[in-house]
Structure 1
């Protein structure tokens, strides 16, 4: 399919994609290093899933320049290598993000419903095991199915054949919307639980450098609000892209110029999700904010102070981490 966009627009679109790629890599690398180097963050099981989410977003950032280059050269549809080499890992990392968010919602639900036994039920070792399973299943299942179905059709060199009707239904309804619906149901349940007992003090035995902490339902609610915001932005960023793909696919070469522009804007919005997560963490969580600040300033003295402030902040700040 030959696009009718102007060369100036092509440069603008490619430049925006390259900039997004840089922001994605920087933001998620910062998240990864912050959790690994900050003891308080590292010992929280939930942040193991945050690391997995940052890793999947970082992979998307690494693949973004390749997508942008293929679009700029207008060979994205003709190069059959995009089926397995790019779209397989692309769909896999996107599914990893969705299922990891689902794992975080389950983690938060257990923290609210079973606060006393939370430490026994959810440990960093179990969180790591679950993350590894998610990655293995994603790349073995999603990439394989994408490659197989991408080679079937009238024109096996076209990446648009990645989604035959049967596979589209299976992929979109089960693999994508399943985790999304699961997240929505669980967070609604959490909201109802927290609303029914807003002043109850929950004894959550979280292992850290000082032993166990007592935290209020307010701090748990603040962390839940942060992850709900991550989920909401993911839906805002992804839904327009998938809707426009479904609408424009039957048009093929007859796609009007205005739809090409809108589709490209939806692609930019889609990739913005991968660098917005670190922004949300920093905005809604003082612990991440301090860790980011320490890394960006390269200040070792503030790093030691941040450990103490993180421990104290977990008791008194509404946005401390569980």
Structure 2
């Protein structure tokens, strides 16, 4: 009887202060590990292709693509560091200690916050490009974009440390027994500052972008016959901006569909439940979907991936390749 009790504890030698195990069937555990590990590897590989593409090819060094690059970095970190630890959290016991638990949640918060505010920056970029195209080149410059990206990541780190300060100062403070990985945050404040406010900004900006884009598309169709060769470059530029707005709009919409369920579950106060764990992975899966959207809607991404996979980027002056 004693052996059976010990087998059900995370740390049998600690007995009463050790968490009880809830052991899954071996087949179910293997299935979860294989699926989640595959998603993690796919997320890393796809976002690495985005990072290499935009970093290597000079034609892709545009303000909009710098925002996409920043988003790809956060998605890459999710696949490389956050997802593997989240897989370990599906186990009955946390065996890596209180400090690693706190650092995992810190990294989780940083990447999540960075993703949300990168989406805000992308929405602002498309808003200016569509609603104020004449001033876009002067308002959205490469240097300003770099500063915005730097501030985005700096704020993400600051925000995450502030919300997890108590947990980082004393790791394991909120664990009720050995073998747990539990943190405590001010849920409503995080919901408002980390999700509701930025998501509201994204929604308002994209509603405005959608209205203007539709009116521009109608104007272009009604005047397409009267367009002369002199203005054809302007029309082409407008089409390019509208296509970029549509593609990035899909990215934002998918982002909302993946992250909203998690925050709704958090709001319903079922933290720590199996439902919450499922919603967390739905949110993380967004990091894998973004590169897939680029592959479907951006020809330059497909061309750059071909050059990367065939190792043609190793050739001299390959960064000057025409992929647009």
| Common fold: TM-score over 0.5 | yes
| Aligned-residue offset at 1:197 | 2.3
**Structure 2: segments with no counterpart, 5+ residues:** 1-18, 221-232
**Which residue of 150, 155, 172 maps to 1:137?**
155
- Do 1:88 and 1:144's aligned partners in 2 also have CA atoms closer than 8 Å? no
CA distance in 2 between counterparts of 1:228 and 1:82 reads: 36
CA distance in 2 between counterparts of 1:264 and 1:5 reads: 15
Q: Is the aligned partner of 1:240 residue 2:254?
A: no
Partner of 2:3: none
SS at match of 2:121: helix
Q: Is the aligned partner of 1:292 residue 2:305?
A: yes
| Aligned-residue offset at 1:24 | 1.3
- Do 1:52 and 1:131's aligned partners in 2 also have CA atoms closer than 8 Å? yes
| Aligned-residue offset at 1:100 | 0.6
**Count of residue pairs the alignment pairs up:** 285
Partner of 2:225: none
Bigger radius of gyration among the two: 2
**Which residue of 152, 162, 167 maps to 2:184?**
162
Distance 1:245 1:5, change over 3 A: farther
Alignment of 1:144-223 (within 5 A): 144-148=162-166, 156-157=174-175, 159-163=181-185, 167-198=186-217, 214=234, 215-223=236-244
Return the TM-score normalized by structure 2: 0.78
CA distance in 2 between counterparts of 1:147 and 1:68 reads: 24
Partner of 2:16: none
CA distance in 1 between counterparts of 2:32 and 2:251 reads: 25
- Do 2:78 and 2:111's aligned partners in 1 also have CA atoms closer than 8 Å? yes
114-123 or 215-224, which deviates more: 215-224
**Structure 1: segments with no counterpart, 5+ residues:** 202-212, 311-322
CA distance in 2 between counterparts of 1:153 and 1:282 reads: 42
Q: Deviations over 1:270-297 (max 9, x none)?
A: 2211111111011111122211222122
| Aligned-residue offset at 1:41 | 0.7
- Do 2:103 and 2:168's aligned partners in 1 also have CA atoms closer than 8 Å? no
**Which residue of 39, 52, 67 maps to 2:58?**
39
**Which residue of 290, 294, 298 maps to 1:281?**
294
Return the TM-score normalized by structure 1: 0.78
Q: Is the aligned partner of 1:230 residue 2:251?
A: yes
Distance 1:97 1:216, change over 3 A: same
Partner of 1:127: 145
Across the aligned residues of Structure 1 and Structure 2, the Cα RMSD in angstroms comes to 2.9
CA distance in 2 between counterparts of 1:199 and 1:236 reads: 29
| Aligned-residue offset at 1:15 | 2.1
- Do 1:150 and 1:161's aligned partners in 2 also have CA atoms closer than 8 Å? no
| Aligned-residue offset at 1:36 | 1.1
CA distance in 1 between counterparts of 2:44 and 2:72 reads: 9
129-138 or 262-271, which deviates more: 262-271
- Do 1:282 and 1:288's aligned partners in 2 also have CA atoms closer than 8 Å? yes
CA distance in 2 between counterparts of 1:38 and 1:153 reads: 44
